[in-house]
Amino acid sequence: MNVHKSYTKHFILLSVLLIVFLLINISLGSVLIPFQDVFLILFGDETLKDSWQTIILNFRLPKAITAILVGSGLSICGLLMQTLFRNPLAGPFVLGISSGASLGVALLILGSSLFGGIFLSFSFSNWATAIAASLGAFIVLSAVISAAKKVRNTMSILIIGLMFGSLTSAVISVLAYFSEAEQIQQYMFWSFGSLGNLSWTELTVFGLLYGIGILATFSIIKPLNSFLLGENYAKSLGINIKKSRNIILLITSLLTGVITAFSGPIAFIGLAVPHIAKMLFSTSNHKILIPSSAIIGAIVLLICDSIAQLPASEFTLPINAITSLFGAPVVIWLLIKKKKIYV
């Protein structure tokens, strides 16, 4: 009981910060909306400006919810990968799932040069991009899972994932070589990542798939904790290593695939946030680390998105650039300063 009590204040503080940064994120943008008016609109006050209501309810609120889902999902995936591979520098994209999603989108956008106009007619739809990314991620996932069944060593799966990533990057480079400048630019814009392209319908589908992944994550807390002490220890507790490993790979692939499909590849959140959670909570218990990583990831991505919006300006920066500016120094600092990194 004491363990849970000692972290209650941490979770209350993080929850309050999440709500504060959510409201800040919604109030900032090319049109600055006062904080109290944002609050009133969210709670159904219809007496304020119609334009403000449209901006908040149709654009900024879906974007903020997307940031929370993406930030928390990537952070949990990063934590799962770091635990599974017992490698503090493993992230959600080490399995090559992101590369598979990128290949699907590249075939859709850049493939029209090679495969004709049928691809071009679909390439400007959000749904088409999401489906192409999901299919690409699923194909790579299937290949990684098939390989995982044939190798016993967990580190071999990590190397296989990296090789799939290299393979898909090579195919994308060939497609780009034969594509028009306009198509390459469109693909580049997708690869920058975006949180603001989702309608409520797309966000609902995203949320349902995300929910399945999160519920499944809480079912594998015991295997995750046992993996920290090595596979032999996990076996002595009666844990089925192969089954648990495949479940972790499936959950990570589902979350990473759906996030990349709907928002593009977003770097460093999954790599850096689990370490921040471990330092703040000073524990390796996944019952604490999974929710804490999720909340911190959501807060960090809301902050990054608020910076990317360039408040009071009509310009926005790529979210991927901001997360990299945040994440890279954190990883460098971890490597230089920390004598021991929890895994």
Q: Could you tell me if residue 24 is inside a domain?
A: yes
23 to each of 90, 175, 238, 319, how far by Cα in Å? 32, 42, 46, 19
pTM across the whole model: 0.87
Question: Is pLDDT above 50 for 271?
Answer: yes
Q: Could you tell me if residue 83 is inside a domain?
A: yes
Q: Which long-range contacts (CB under 8 A, 24 or more apart) does 311-320 make?
A: 311/28, 311/29, 311/32, 312/30, 312/32, 313/30, 314/30, 316/196, 318/192, 318/193, 318/194, 319/192, 319/193, 319/194, 319/195, 319/266, 320/191, 320/192, 320/193, 320/264, 320/265, 320/266, 320/267
Q: Could you tell me if residue 343 is inside a domain?
A: no
Give pLDDT tens digits for 154-171. 778 888 888 888 888 899
- The Cβ-side half-sphere exposure at 185, using a 13 Å CA radius, reads 3
Residue range of the domain that includes 274: 2-337
Confidence of residue 2 (pLDDT cuts 50, 70, 90): very low
Residues 6+ away with beta carbon under 8 Å from 193: 263, 264, 265, 266, 267, 318, 319, 320, 323
Tell me, what's the pLDDT at 119? Answer: 54
Taking the C-alpha atoms of residue 309 and residue 269, their distance in angstroms, rounded to an integer, is 18
CATH code, 241: 1.10.3470.10
Taking the C-alpha atoms of residue 219 and residue 237, their distance in angstroms, rounded to an integer, is 16
For residue 81, what is the enclosing H or E element?
Answer: helix 61-85
Tell me, what's the pLDDT at 125? Answer: 64
Q: Could you tell me if residue 272 is inside a domain?
A: yes
Instruction: Provide the b/e sequence for 198-207 (b: ≥16 CB within 10 Å).
Output: beeebbebbb
Number of domains in the chain: 1
Residue 220 DSSP symbol:
G
Confidence of residue 1 (pLDDT cuts 50, 70, 90): very low
Give pLDDT tens digits for 85-138. 888 878 887 778 888 888 888 888 887 666 655 555 555 566 788 888 888 888
User: Residue 287 burial by CB count (10 A; 0-12/13-18/19+): exposed, middle or buried?
Assistant: middle
Q: For the chain, give the mean pLDDT.
A: 84
Q: Could you tell me if residue 60 is inside a domain?
A: yes
Q: Could you tell me if residue 327 is inside a domain?
A: yes
Confidence of residue 332 (pLDDT cuts 50, 70, 90): confident
Confidence of residue 253 (pLDDT cuts 50, 70, 90): confident
Q: Could you tell me if residue 194 is inside a domain?
A: yes
Give pLDDT tens digits for 58-89. 899 999 999 999 999 999 999 998 898 888 87
As a whole number, mean pLDDT of residues 273-302 equals 93
Q: Could you tell me if residue 342 is inside a domain?
A: no
